[in-house]
Chains A and B, each alone.
Chain A
Amino acid sequence: MTTPLLSVRGLVKHFPIKGGVFGKQKGAVKAVNDVSFDVMPSETLGLVGESGCGKSTTGRLVLRLIEATAGEVTFDGENVFQLGAGDLRRMRRRMQIVFQDPFSSLNPRMTVDAIVREGLTIHKLAEGGEADKRVKQLLEEVGLRPEYARRFPHEFSGGQRQRIGIARALAVEPKFIVCDEPVSALDVSVQAQVINLLQDLQRDRGLAYLFIAHDLSVVEHIADRVAVMYLGRIVELAKSEDLYREPLMPYTQALLSAVPVPQPSAKRSRIVLTGDVPSPANLPPGCVFHPRCHHPAKDAACTAIIPPLEEKAPGHLVACIKQTPTTVTWEQQQAAGGTKRPERYLPVLATT
């Protein structure tokens, strides 16, 4: 067993809601609640979920771009949340981010050369002619012409800008990159180019990715393991092929069945979730998914017990007390008002 490159334990982020004349705190948006996961060296962990589920916040917390309310993040043996400003800056050399929007994440007043060079200068990795050479190499590596270095971001298409963003992240030779919806804003043909590029770079440089996306088919393609988030919690975490072959959490089942398949003849049973995602400022008690859940054994226990993320099959973690096996005993469930025994429920076997 190799040691994880990144280890996240009990991560919590609550954004205060202020109101009234004196700006007193009225409540909190509970964006991330008790999230734990590991990322191995050279691994891609996919983080999927719908908008507002806390996946992007998680990515930013890990890099300490925003400060966590509670929890612990260990990167390469160091506790990220306890680093001072100088140490944190040094740490950031090894962990980088590629943003979703290739239009707002590049400074329009900087040339491509300046954008890619900035990290080299800040971290004193290269200067002068040496830096010129590095910038040229990086641009070539991401499939851009070195002559483009003197141009400004607005002169490029969306896919090319995303390549610039990737070159900027690579400049400081990180081991780990948070990819926050890096292809969501791109057309399908360009999206494929960028995904292939990310995979090539991973192979060549041994990078680890936390790949955040809402597109399940993209994540299946790129990720080794996938974590599904709903309302600030990880509700399922498994190897990619296991998760897509046999989703166990009712939410994941619904999510997968909702993906439109480009095969007109494919007849599938679709689970259409009713209603909307509840507000993260006012989380449902117990299992956060219970108001929309379609598990046949759903009962009062689901509204009372917060389901632990537990192993249902080897390496397949699921947060559901009604999906067998579970460590929450039948007696405990009955004590919480449960009337229906847990059972294995698999409405979506094989998604194609």
Chain B
Amino acid sequence: MAHDSTAGPLLSVEDLRTFFYTEAGVARAVDGVSFQIGRGETVGLVGESGCGKSVTAFSLIRLIRPPGRIEPGSRIVFDGRDLATLSESEMRKVRGELIGFVFQEPMTALNPVFTVGDQIAEVVRVHHGGSKQEAWVRAVKMLETVGIPSPEQRAHEYPHQLSGGMRQRVVIAMALVLNPALVIADEPTTALDVTIQAQILELLKDLQQKFGTSILLITHDLGVVAETASRVIVMYGGEVVEEATVEELFKKAHHPYTEGLLNAMPQVGEAKERLNTIPGTVPPPTAWPKGCRFRDRCPYSWDRCEAEHPPLYSIGEGHVSRCHLAEEPQRRAHPHKPIVEQIADEGGFARGSQKGERDVAAERAAVSARVGSSDKGKGIS
């Protein structure tokens, strides 16, 4: 492993675009995303389903299958090398050795017919060679590191013999066994109960301190981000819409989408009569609205938001937001009914908060694009 320098960020993503060429049109799932991850840093990537966060993650390790494609011009610079230009065999070395991956669903990430010890040992042997014996010893040691009790015995067990939390520990062991510089964790705790989630998050923090690993944590749970990440990237409509340090984002969210996400969350210990909602739903990636992609659901939007696609404005130190409010902040004082709700009212609803009439074909395209993009990337080692 050649970690040549400590200068510069570990990962630098520049203008990443991943499109899916479906029958219903081109789904621009990731549409010009740029961000960086420093060494030893934990970055949270948040957003709702369909906003492009998982496709971004899979693009970083190039697990995009047709009809999906990483568009030319996208750059994924990892430790000085552009991963987008590597051959498939070079890329295979990157996966696991340099970048580890923790999947959401531990049961599908593990092979049911091999013992967990064999599966971890296989990763070691494929990448580093060596004897079966050595690889096995390393696997057992890794199981111990991730806090699995009596690892010698557990290594001989099959995934179905382990609980959900234990399985996720095995997946983490597999991702970390080659000591990669970056771990991408895609909703690592979403399938777990809250007490087990707490254990796994503690484990990730411990391991990070021990090995100095950088973590890209993808989640829809802002609470998880607040507790684990130091910096947060918010995605919407295939784009980064806000980026800030975790303190800044929770205190001074700028983008109306981020604001909406924070307000919509019920919080323990905070009784509210009514939850704030973000009306409507994420538009299909085959038909992003022109101008600002959040415009229809936004309580501040005005004509400029339709005419002009907002760039990432600088809001403060390390804080950017894709919203014209950066230039016209006075408009925040006058919220109005979002466009989707206005349309709903005209449609004569008794109770609003539905999106307006939208082409069913486009809706279907969105669904099929999501389906098409959700099962790529199964079966990496």
Contact = CB atoms under 8 A, between A and B. Distances in A.
A263 B247 CA distance: 8
Contacts of A196: 274-275, 277, 353
A50 B270 contact: no
A51 B191 CA distance: 10
A139 B73 CA distance: 47
Interface in A119-175: 140-145, 151, 154-155, 157, 159-160
B268 A216 contact: yes
Contacts of A144: 354
Contacts of B260: 189
B193 A265 contact: no
A199 B274 contact: yes
B199 A221 contact: no
Interface stretch (B112-120, B220-228, B301-309): B220-228
Contact of A244 (B48, B199, B268): B268
Given A218-B266, A259-B194, A264-B247, A159 B281 contact: yes
Of B164, B225, B260, B267, chain A has the most CB atoms within 10 Å of the CB of B267
B193 A272 contact: no
Contacts of B49: 187
Contact of B353 (A193, A245, A262, A266): A193
A276 B149 CA distance: 11
A29 to B, nearest CB: 15
B32 to A, nearest CB: 23
A195 B275 CA distance: 8
A276 B164 CA distance: 9
A82 to B, nearest CB: 36
Contacts of B261: 188-189
B195 interface: yes
Which of the four size classes fits the interface of chain A?
A: 35 or more
B188 interface: no
B21 interface: no
B313 interface: no
Interface string A168-196: 00000000000000000001111111011
Interface string B70-103: 0000000000000000000000000000000000
Contact of A258 (B195, B222, B262): B195
Contacts of A266: 226
Contacts of A145: 347, 349, 354, 357
Of A221, A254, A266, chain B has the most CB atoms within 10 Å of the CB of A221
Of B164, B199, B265, B266, chain A has the most CB atoms within 10 Å of the CB of B266
Contacts of A214: 193-194
Of A192, A196, A265, A352, chain B has the most CB atoms within 10 Å of the CB of A192
A272 B264 contact: no
A200 interface: yes
A192 B276 contact: yes
Given A140-B351, A352-B269, A192 B193 contact: no
A260 B349 contact: no
Given A143-B353, A144-B354, A190-B281, A221 B266 contact: yes
B2 interface: no
A220 interface: yes
Nearest to A53: B193
A258 B199 CA distance: 9
A351 B268 contact: yes
B226 A272 contact: no
B275 A143 contact: no
A274 B265 CA distance: 28
B363 interface: yes
Of B262, B351, B357, chain A has the most CB atoms within 10 Å of the CB of B351
Interface in B116-136: none
Interface string A232-260: 00000000010011000000001111111
A270 interface: yes
B360 interface: yes
A266 B251 CA distance: 12
Contact of B48 (A187, A261, A352): A187
A189 B282 CA distance: 10
A197 interface: yes
A338 to B, nearest CB: 26
B137 interface: no
A261 B198 CA distance: 12
B98 to A, nearest CB: 29
Contacts of B276: 192
Nearest to B363: A155
B214 to A, nearest CB: 19
Interface of B: 48-49, 163-166, 193-199, 201-202, 220-227, 246-247, 250, 260-262, 264-272, 274-279, 281, 347, 349-354, 357, 360, 363-364, 367
25 contacts: A50-B193, A142-B351, A143-B352, A145-B347, A159-B281, A188-B220, A189-B48, A189-B261, A190-B281, A192-B265, A192-B275, A192-B277, A195-B266, A214-B194, A244-B268, A245-B269, A261-B227, A262-B222, A262-B265, A264-B246, A272-B199, A276-B165, A276-B166, A351-B269, A352-B268
